[in-house]
């Protein structure tokens, strides 16, 4: 009879383990079935947005305005830089050198201005695009949305570009 009680205990443990394993397997398969993966190409999407085209036109106008002065600025920048890096600095007073350094820094800032202007103009366009991608992902039940350009090989997934374009009314 003792042998029978031991066998019953073993059977209960086995049944419990089987139930736990079955429920874990069921939970895993449900979670897996609910995972949807998508991707979108910002390189294709951003230029299709009307706001991007406006920003790009502004950037081109700014670039053209800078290009007219760029050669003069570059020449002046090179001249100022060579003055400050040569042995001729001894013939200048501290105040003159400080003024030349300030002028040099201002020139550097002007040259860097194009990149900052570009980021400033594109930032709201990019935010609108990302907000639309998030909205489409949420509306369609996507768990993960990857940027297509970030992968050499990407998993089987849905291209969300047509859905995002549709959401923003872009053809």
Reply yes or no on whether the pLDDT at 1 is more than 60: no
Report the pLDDT averaged over residues 71-76. Answer: 71
Reply yes or no on whether the pLDDT at 15 is more than 60: no
The torsion region of residue 21 among left (phi > 0), alpha (psi -120 to 50) and beta comes to: alpha
For residue 32, being part of any structural domain is answered with no
- Tell me the pLDDT tens digit for each residue of 107-125: 777 777 777 888 888 899 9
How far is Cα 6 from Cα 157, in angstroms, rounded to an integer? 52
How far is Cα 97 from Cα 147, in angstroms, rounded to an integer? 49
Distance of CA 106 to the CA centre of its chain: 30
| Locus of tokens 């910002």 | 42
Report the pLDDT averaged over residues 115-136. Answer: 89
Give the model's confidence band at 141: pLDDT under 50 very low, under 70 low, under 90 confident, else very high: very high
Reply yes or no on whether the pLDDT at 71 is more than 80: no
- Classify 38 as helix, strand or coil: strand
Residues of the chain with pLDDT > 90: what percent?
Answer: 13
Report the pLDDT averaged over residues 72-82. Answer: 70
Number of domains in the chain: 1
How far is Cα 96 from Cα 122, in angstroms, rounded to an integer? 39
For residue 31, being part of any structural domain is answered with no
pTM of the model: 0.57
Structure tokens at 3: 């042998």
Reply yes or no on whether the pLDDT at 143 is more than 80: yes
Structure tokens at 67: 């290009």
Task: Check residue 137 and give its pLDDT.
Answer: 93
Domain containing 8 equals 2-26+37-168
For residue 91, being part of any structural domain is answered with yes
Give the model's confidence band at 17: pLDDT under 50 very low, under 70 low, under 90 confident, else very high: very low
Give the model's confidence band at 132: pLDDT under 50 very low, under 70 low, under 90 confident, else very high: very high
Q: Which segment of 71-85, 100-114, 149-163 scores lowest on mean pLDDT? A: 71-85
Q: Which segment of 48-52, 74-78, 115-119, 149-153 scores lowest on mean pLDDT? A: 74-78
């Amino acid at each position: 009879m003792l042998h029978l009680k031991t066998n019953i205990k073993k059977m209960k443990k086995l049944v419990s383990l089987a139930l736990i394993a079955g429920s874990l397997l069921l939970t895993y398969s449900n979670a897996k079935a609910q995972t949807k993966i998508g991707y979108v190409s910002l390189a294709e999407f951003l230029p299709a947005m009307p706001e991007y085209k406006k920003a790009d036109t502004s950037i081109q106008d700014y670039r053209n305005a800078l290009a007219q002065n760029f050669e003069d600025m570059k020449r002046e920048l090179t001249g100022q830089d060579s003055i400050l890096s040569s042995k001729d600095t001894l013939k200048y007073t501290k105040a003159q050198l400080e003024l030349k350094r300030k002028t040099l820094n201002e020139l550097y800032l002007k040259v860097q201005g194009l990149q900052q202007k570009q980021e400033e103009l594109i930032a709201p366009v990019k935010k609108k695009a990302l907000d639309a991608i998030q909205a489409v992902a949420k509306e369609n039940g996507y768990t993960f949305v990857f940027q297509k350009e970030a992968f050499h090989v990407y998993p089987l997934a849905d291209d969300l570009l047509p859905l995002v374009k549709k959401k923003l009314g872009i053809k």
